[in-house]
Chain A
Amino acid sequence: MPKLINQQAELVADDYLWLEDLAQLPTDEQQGLLVPLALWQQARAELQRFKRLGVKLASDEFAELIAADLGKFSLVAIEFPKFVDGRGYSTARLLRERYNFTGELRAVGDVLLDQLHYLKRCGFSQFALRDDQNLAHASAMLQVFSDSYQSGVDQPQPLFRRRQLA
């Protein structure tokens, strides 16, 4: 099982049920659900009844595909099929910065310690660390850099603007 952590490297419970097809749809509408984009597109009506709904984007499914629906989701998961596939970083920033998504943004798939810092800067709030990753290092890897040059979701003002204020 992947270990789900937040930006403080604390373990958090995954209270979303990963649903692959409608046959397994629970009756309790309070149950959190995480569904692939295709399932959402095919079964919007059935899924919308659930209060806590998450959608999962594959790395080649881009932000604009869910932009209009973002208000319905409390969670968006972005999949990293391989950690070197960097498309999810752009998707995350677009969701946060262009489409103003404020719910949980979760990195899933090949999520490794050494990418946590970058993921966090791009707006991910949760990280489903691959199960072999040593949690003991997570906090260090999230805190290596105390400052960054560029604008990011965590710090919209690039360093050069803050330098001018200092």
Chain B
Amino acid sequence: MYRYDEVDQQIVDARVSEFRLQTERYLAGELPEEEFRPLRLMNGLYVQRYAPMLRVAIPYGQLNSEQLRALAQIADQYDKGYAHFSTRTNLQYNWPNIADVPDILADLAKVQMHAVQTSGNCIRNTTTDQFAGIAKDEVADPRPWCEIIRQWSTFHPEFAYLPRKFKIAVNARASQDNAAIEVHDIGLQLVKNEAGELGFAVYVGGGLGRTPIIGSLIQPFLPWQHLLTYLDAILRVYNLHGRRDNKYKARIKILVKALGPEVFAAKVDAEWQHLKDGPETLTQAEVERVCQHFIDPDYLPAQADAEQQLAQLRSDKPGFDRWLTRNLTEHKQPGYAAVTLSLKKVGIAPGDATSAQMRAAADLADRYSFGLLRVSHFQNLVLTDVRLEDLPALWQEAKEHGFASPTVGTLSDMICCPGGDFCSLANARSIPIAEALQARFDNLDFLYDLGDLELNISGCMNACGHHHVGNIGILGVDKKGQEFYQVSLGGESGSKASPSIGQIIGPSFSEQEIPQVVDTVLSVYVQQRQAEERFIDCFRRIGMAPFKEAVYAKAD
């Protein structure tokens, strides 16, 4: 992973001193809340429903064991001994004191971490596939590009006060898109042209939230050298022309839609003509420098009988077999696999981890995965480089620490935002919904029978829980001061084709009704599916009507 040099460290340290001064001025009453607000947001600090929330950046989801231990230490020292992994692969502390935040940031800086631009109307943490660098079908490793974007976007002087937040995602796989780039402000797809040169297909103006839109392709092949100048051009057009009069209309997607993608693309191109080949043009030397940080670890040769032994163990131990079936991902390196450590244990809020679990995961990473981990947008941890012969031992230990729920990719692996229990923007709580659903559908055979099924829950239109792209999406809405939930079906992300946005099934439901509604939806699927047909494919074939009919027949 990327390691800071002196200058990187200096920049992060300087940020800590700056924020320390700002916090002091705020606490001394010199800096009014209204003016402190954007500053604290750009340092990851929210003021939440019950307490401040600090969001720490985990750039493109990559983390080492030392960093994870430091995060655990912070959870113990400044918070209540746990933290929450978010759908943007960041980490959130729910109970820090504002006065402690500069110290927390200083502790983070010691392990080359920060909370820079994890909130606010600026360029946020760039995200990518949780299996970046180990997937078989990558055009190139996306992580060096994410790091290059991280450095370019960090304290970008021109784009610190954008009309609204700005999110960039990078995907490098041809067959799959775990980063959901087409629902980002900018989505970058690594591609090669006919001459075999590397570049990016650039999508702009996608997004979820109040107005879900799939991004438009405005540049089918941007040679890699021009990545930053082109990003500068897009951001400049947005900074100057994006709406600032209405925060619900301020995202770039609204500008792209208002102008039309062709006109927007032409504006970007006109701007880019001035910036192209300028100083921000990337050099081979820089790309190589950054790539050096992401070279493969020293993999051992695969043991000839490793696969056989595994097969034997699988047939002896059904639990192990289940775990491997759901929680293992193929690796480009023979003899290795990636293992998802599930943070979806029934009864615990999705994505939450205690400090003890964080330390345990760090130990597992040291022992089994070169000390490296990833955070996925499904709010799980991933050990990316596990030898096949280590899997049985890892499984045992993962079980002891509550990481071995063999449910990755199933209904039970739901995405869920913090919702009304923590978030001051929420219309409704989301964690109790997740818990009720996990409790109701806890039969593994049933979950496996349902197969791949993404259920996503957001507590409000901001869609942090990505409800639009869930096969089943649940959205908290406010009905005359009461918490209600709107259900949508047919969303999908991560697929080969474009992501699709779910359709709302009909009038919303109370908290108590939701488990039954989901149950009914699932029964319709089970009755109607054809052999091996996934939920989403079945939905696409039969449409909304049968689901709607069944759900409202029962609800009446």
Binding site for B on A (CB under 8 A): 62, 83-87, 89-91, 93, 98, 112, 114-115, 117-119, 121-122, 134, 137, 140-141, 144-152, 156-161, 163-164
A81 to B14, CA, bound (A): 28
Report B-chain residues with C-beta under 8 Å of the C-beta of A112: 35
Per-residue 0/1 for B15-38: is the Cβ within 8 Å of any A Cβ (1 yes, 0 no)?
101100110010000110001001
Roughly how many angstroms separate A151 CA and B159 CA in the complex, as a whole number? 13
- CB <8 Å contact, A84 and B161: yes
Complex alpha-carbon distance, A82 and B376, angstroms: 38
Residues A164 and B286 in contact, CB atoms below 8 Å apart: yes
A151 to B152, CA, bound (A): 9
Contact between B240 and A62 (Cβ–Cβ < 8 Å)? yes
Binary A-proximity of B29-50 (CB < 8 A = 1, otherwise 0): 0110001001100000000000
Do A89 and B152 contact each other (CB < 8 Å), given the known contacts A156-B279, A161-B279?
no
14 A-B contacts (beta carbon < 8 Å): A62-B240, A84-B38, A85-B244, A86-B239, A90-B240, A118-B155, A118-B158, A137-B25, A149-B11, A149-B152, A156-B279, A157-B279, A160-B148, A164-B289
Please measure, in the bound complex, the distance between the C-alpha atom of A152 and the C-alpha atom of B278, giving whole angstroms.
12
B283 and A164 within 8 A (CB): yes
**Do the beta carbons of B240 and A158 come within 8 Å of each other?**
no
Asked whether B317 is an interface residue with its Cβ less than 8 Å from the other chain, the reply is no
Is there contact, CB below 8 Å, between A85 and B161?
Answer: yes
Q: Is B7 an interface residue (CB 8 A)?
A: yes
B157-170 vs A: 1/0 string, CB under 8 Å? Answer: 11111110000000
Task: For B163, list chain A residues within 8 Å (CB).
Answer: 86
Q: Is B479 an interface residue (CB 8 A)?
A: no
Binding site for A on B (CB under 8 A): 5, 7, 10-11, 14-15, 17-18, 21-22, 25, 30-31, 35, 38-39, 121, 148, 151-152, 154-163, 228, 236, 239-240, 244, 274, 278-280, 282-283, 285-286, 289
Instruction: Give chain B residues whose Cβ lies under 8 Å from the Cβ of A91.
Output: 240
| Known contacts A89-B161, A117-B157, A150-B152; 6 further A-B pairs (Cβ under 8 A) | A86-B158, A114-B35, A158-B152, A160-B289, A163-B289, A164-B286
Contact yes or no, B157 A161, CB < 8 A: no
Bound CA–CA A83/B42 (angstroms): 14
Determine whether the beta carbon of A151 is less than 8 Å from that of B14: no
- Shortest distance between the CB of A26 and any CB in chain B (Å): 35
Closest residue of chain A to B287 (Cβ to Cβ) is: A160
Q: Is there an interface contact between A118 and B157, defined as CB atoms closer than 8 Å?
A: yes
Contact A163 B160 (CB under 8 A): no
Contact between chains at A84 and B152 (CB < 8 Å): no
CB of B118, distance to nearest CB on chain A (Å): 17
Assuming the contacts A84-B161, A86-B161, A89-B160, asked whether A159 and B151 have C-beta atoms less than 8 A apart, the reply is yes
